[in-house]
Structure 1
């Protein structure tokens, strides 16, 4: 199979069954819901950096909105390749929301990593304000998880490109 045949096969591969898609969408909603809950429960529990709970709430709400919007029929492109005004609105909304989430993620990185290893003790006698341990560690690890996932995608993408490169060089007599 030539490179173009392989790519055509990948593009025409059927979608997974509806239950698999539904379960994956639900799994993607777990972290945003947990972010909203942790931020709301601990809204006043981080005087050291009071933006951390707000960061979690906003990131959770917009992440959940993006997940829910991806389930709507307007987010799907029709088979004939045309786009309706509604699909353009959905595409614009998804793009703006993704751009906002990217900027918000950068701001959250600054707020979280700038106070790394905060004082976790609420009634400490020192002048260093505290930050609730579970709130901070949740924000820290959910943010770090994004970097871990991005790294895995980067490595996986490089491996796929390498495999395509090897497949393209396999036979000189493949049709183009």
Structure 2
């Protein structure tokens, strides 16, 4: 078990281009949320908060991602904490908590109005098709990604546990 933990601690950090490219890819959906939410801000009478949800979620996510790139937000290599990195960590936790609560609210707004009227803009249950389906599928995609990540983590944990038990079994020691 100690060897496993030491290996986890000693893994190398990805190089700068890898980090930049991955953050740019991760920002594609939040930027699209801001754009689509802004374009259709007044186009969902069935639930006026759906476009607002997209704009706020996208804006906070992009801001958090960009701010995390600043050198002053990084912890020093020696593992100590500077005042600025401690403040950044506290602020990011608060923003993550807000985004979690905002995500739950967005789920209620989106899923409670599943299958709105896409055809009659004058109807009370109307929501622009592009806006609603984008919000629906971005939210659903999060659940799919969470499920895949959870299953992957469980499989990885099982593999590590089996390897650990093989390393400590009597036949492995002889």
Provide the TM-score with structure 1 as the length reference. Answer: 0.91
Cα RMSD (Å): 1.6
3-state SS of 1:101 partner: helix
Structure 1 alignment gaps of length 5 or more: none
Q: Which residue does 1:159 correspond to in 2? A: 155
Q: Which of the residues 49, 52, 70 maps onto 1:51?
A: 49
For 1:95 and 1:9, locate their aligned partners in 2 and report how far apart those are by CA, in whole Å.
Answer: 27
SS at match of 2:98: helix
List aligned pairs for 1:54-93, cutoff 5 A: 54-93=52-91
Equivalent pair of 1:33/1:60 in contact (CA under 8 Å): yes
Q: 1:39–1:53: 8 Å Cα contact kept in structure 2? A: yes
- Tell me how many residue pairs correspond in the alignment: 171
**Which residue does 2:94 correspond to in 1?**
96
Worse overlay, 78-87 or 144-153:
78-87
Scaled by the length of structure 2, what TM-score is found? 0.92
In structure 2, stretches of 5+ residues that fail to align are none
Give CA deviations for 1:120-165 in whole Å, capped at 9, x if unaligned: 01346xx543100000000000000110111111101101110111
Give the SS at the match of 1:71: coil
With a CA cutoff of 8 Å and minimum separation of 6, indicate the structure with the bigger relative contact order. 1
Query: Could you say which residue in structure 2 is the equivalent of 1:169?
Result: 165
